[in-house]
A = this chain, B = another copy of it.
């Protein structure tokens, strides 16, 4: 199989690429390196089945050419900066919605009929049903990021109906683990490296969060694609547990052997559009026998181990 992975130099993308290559597949990655990290591809580059194309999804001509001959698309490239959405409202529209449209058009022109898409639990907005199943009540969007991913889902579904494409749409909780390059564990670790005596926390620390470890996430993606055969296959991916930001802070401080002064700022929530609680009902993917091998705490520890062993990533401007 020849796979095409957009955002293949990113956190989830590069881990996926390594696994696909290990199994003997050919993999072309397409990444504009706006947030992709070249170092993540060091192993992949040694593999003869690997092709790297530096390109932007907003360049449809290059995309059409790059995707040619591939069998299956993992569309993972996105603006994943949920937090600052309101500072640049066009970014989610261009990099998520229009970019997804361009991927679908390139697939159509090249007769590629299978796509897996990284959506988000944020599409549920402030869910009325928690844990939230895939068939939750029609949600109201609360972030430009969620809205742009919802738009991407809708486009993919319409292409499935209109052009005979098959899709797997994954609504993730936050993913953690090796190569995790942003988010609160990264921020807290970086802060504590600079000033071990204090930690600034946005919100009141009681925000509930659910996380999934990257390798568990990839296992779930594989199992979903192997076992679900509808035209459109939608899966929540998360764990059956959740934590508060305060739990996470305790685990991080315990791991680092620090007792910083915690300063909470910004009221109950972290930022506008920050959902106070994303917790997904994952019984659909669990019905295929999948369950996470690692707890949220395990995932956080593994992330910290990665950061400890890769201090260079703290210095990068992401």
A105 / chain B contacts, CB cutoff of 8 Å = 89-90
Contacts of A234 in B (CB 8 A): 140
Is A157 a contact partner of B141 (Cβ separation < 8 A)? yes
Segment 61-98 of A: residues with Cβ below 8 Å from B: 85-86, 89-90, 93, 97-98
Give the dominant DSSP class at A's interface: helix
- CB-based contact A138/B136 at 8 Å: yes
Which residue of chain B lies nearest to A108 when distances are taken between CB atoms in the complex?
A: B89
Most B CB contacts (10 A, CB to CB) among A97, A143, A146 go to: A97
A137 x B137 contact (CB < 8 A): yes
Q: Nearest residue in B to A167 (C-beta to C-beta)?
A: B140
Stretch with Cβ within 8 A of B (4 or more), from A15-23, A158-166, A202-210:
A158-166
Contact present for B157 and A142 (CB under 8 Å): yes
A113 at interface, CB cutoff 8 A = no
Residues of B within 8 A of A108 (CB): 89
Please tell me if A214 contacts chain B, counting CB pairs below 8 Å: no
| A143 lies within 8 A of B158 (CB) | yes
A260 within 8 A of B: no
Residues 91-147 (chain A) with a chain B CB within 8 angstroms: 93, 97-98, 101, 104-105, 108, 124-125, 128, 134-144, 146-147
User: B residues within 8 A CB of A150?
Assistant: 150-151, 154
A173 to B146, CA, bound (A): 26
The contact of A158 among B98, B134, B144, by CB within 8 Å, is B144
How many residues of chain A are within 8 Å of chain B by beta carbon? 43
Contact B135 A137 (CB under 8 A): yes
Q: Does A225 lie at the interface of the complex (its beta carbon under 8 Å from any beta carbon of B)? A: no
A243 at the interface (CB under 8 A from B): no
By a CB distance below 8 angstroms, the chain B residues around A135 are 128, 137-138
Q: Which of B142, B146, B153, B162 contacts A272 (CB under 8 A)?
A: B162
A210 to B94, CA, bound (A): 36
For residue A93, which residues in chain B have a CB less than 8 angstroms away from its CB? 97-98, 101, 155
**Residue contact B134 to A138, C-beta cutoff 8 Å:** yes
Closest Cβ of chain B to A132, distance in Å, is 9
Determine whether A36 belongs to the interface, using a CB cutoff of 8 Å to chain B. no
Bound CA–CA A91/B46 (angstroms): 43
Nearest CB in chain B to that of A164: its residue = B272
A157: B residues at CB distance < 8 A: 125, 140-142, 147
Cα A169 to Cα B138 in complex, Å, equals 13
**With A93-B98, A141-B161, A143-B158 given, can you name 4 additional A-B contacts, CB distance below 8 Å?**
A89-B162, A148-B154, A150-B150, A151-B151
28 contacts between A and B (CB under 8 A): A85-B158, A85-B162, A93-B97, A93-B101, A97-B151, A98-B98, A125-B157, A135-B137, A136-B137, A137-B138, A138-B139, A140-B157, A141-B157, A142-B157, A142-B161, A143-B158, A143-B161, A143-B162, A144-B155, A144-B162, A147-B151, A147-B154, A147-B155, A147-B157, A148-B154, A151-B154, A162-B272, A162-B273
Pairs A-B, 4 closest by C-beta atoms: A151-B151, A147-B154, A141-B157, A147-B158
